[in-house]
Copies of this chain bind each other. A is one copy, B any other.
Amino acid sequence: MTGEIISIGDELLIGQVVNTNASFMANRLNAAGVEVKNVVTVGDDAAAIRDAFGRAFHRADVICVTGGLGPTHDDITKAVASEFFESRLVRNKTALAGLKEYLKSRNLELTPSREGQAFVPEGCTVIPNRRGTAPGMLLERGGKYFIIMPGVPVEMKGMMDDFVVPFISSRNQGQVILHRTLLTTGLPESDLADRIGDVKEFLPKDGATTLAFLPSALGVRLRISVRGKDLESAKSEVARVESILKERGGDYMYGDEEGTMEEIVGHLLKERNLTISVAESCTGGLIAHRITNVPGSSGWFERGVVTYSNESKTALLGVPREVIEAHGAVSRETARAMARGIRAAAGTSIGISTTGIAGPTGATPMKPVGLVWIGYADEKAAEAYEYRFGGERHIVKERSAQAALDLVRRKLLGLPILRRP
């Protein structure tokens, strides 16, 4: 089955609201074995809605529509649907009962404008709304399913999970779509592509399995998608491609969509009964922020310091004034001393540090924006590594924090350390 999503609302066309509904619906339709081919957004405009309905009905099997079901003058989705399907709006008993029940639970009255919510196109199936006043509607025509839901995210999500996904799954047997995403960091997209090699060599010719490269500031994600006739064979195809990618991606591959880098590092530390502390200059607290986003991180994260001034590097971390004077605050020597200093002060197993030039100011001819030193100290030694990152201030911060966490992961797993990625 193929799917199409139609989002209705002026707010989506002026950039006021990000369309998070569409990605949620796409995710759920995929889980029900529906391949979404198009997502279309139009305003609260009858002609535009009619046009979108017509095109979707022509090319997709399952059409999910959200928005424009409210009680105010600019909500016209239901009227357009009534006209499009040549079904007049009638008062529906199920819808009315559901509406009354919802209003009662909220201590609200059934005003005439609210009662209008119980009118739906004749012959449609009402999808209950437990979280609001507008019912959902399912219209079946020629083996196609046309589903209309409110645009309020919590109401739409409830209808998708309670009704739409089970309903569509039951009518869509023997068709499965599985996705799996693997996370890499430290390698630009084109270099990763070179390592993975020609995908035609290991992807079947029928196009049922695809591989996508998704770059971001934190690294490149690899997404495997498998369309299959049954769950078991689809799962084994995912596993087959995954093992090829893992082998070729090597130690650049650090996880899957189930875990962030900070969760993976936290898990490794906990497993080994180790603790960590962080001394940040150019990342300015971002590493500590990411670490403390992990529930339970207080078990392995002792403290962090953001030493923006040279004085604080000396006072809190014991970095000798002479080291900063001789080599500069952005140097191997300072990064190393910072990592050693925070480890000693905090009494943790590991200490890490960052010092660099995030920009836009602060660069010198020898030390350009994007130059970052990351230090690592454990019970054996302290060392620092040089990196050069592109991008603006916040991107340099993001990349530096990711590289610092990846450095910990590599040290803990005994993997080679990346320099100048």
Binding site for B on A (CB under 8 A): 7, 9-20, 22-30, 35-45, 48, 70-74, 102, 105-108, 111, 113-114, 131, 133, 152, 154, 177, 179, 181, 188-190, 193-194, 199-200, 210-217, 223, 225, 278, 280, 283-289, 291-293, 295-298, 301-309, 311-312, 315-316, 345-347, 358-362, 368, 370, 388, 390-395, 397, 420
Contacts and interface: CB of A to CB of B under 8 A. Distances in A.
Contact of A308 (B14, B298, B308, B370): B298
Given A40-B38, A297-B308, A23 B12 contact: yes
Question: What is the total number of copies of this protein in its complex?
Answer: 2
A133 to B, nearest CB: 8
A42 B307 CA distance: 47
Contact of A179 (B16, B106, B217, B308): B16
Which of A36, A288, A312, A346 counts the most B-chain CB atoms under 10 A from its CB? A288
B26 A14 contact: yes
Nearest to A113: B190
Given A199-B73, A303-B309, A316-B303, A210 B288 contact: no
Closest 10 A/B residue pairs (Cβ): A15-B27, A284-B292, A285-B288, A304-B306, A15-B26, A285-B285, A39-B41, A303-B312, A285-B289, A288-B306
Contacts of A152: 215-216
A319 B307 CA distance: 20
Contacts of A42: 37-38
A184 to B, nearest CB: 13
Nearest to A3: B13
Nearest to A31: B15
A99 to B, nearest CB: 12
Contacts of A179: 14, 16
Nearest to A302: B309
Contacts of A225: 10, 14
Contact of A210 (B10, B212, B394): B10
A280 B114 CA distance: 34
28 contacts: A11-B223, A14-B36, A16-B23, A16-B181, A18-B19, A18-B23, A38-B48, A71-B190, A71-B193, A73-B199, A105-B368, A105-B390, A106-B390, A108-B188, A113-B194, A133-B190, A154-B392, A284-B293, A284-B304, A285-B289, A285-B291, A288-B306, A289-B397, A303-B312, A303-B316, A304-B305, A304-B306, A305-B305
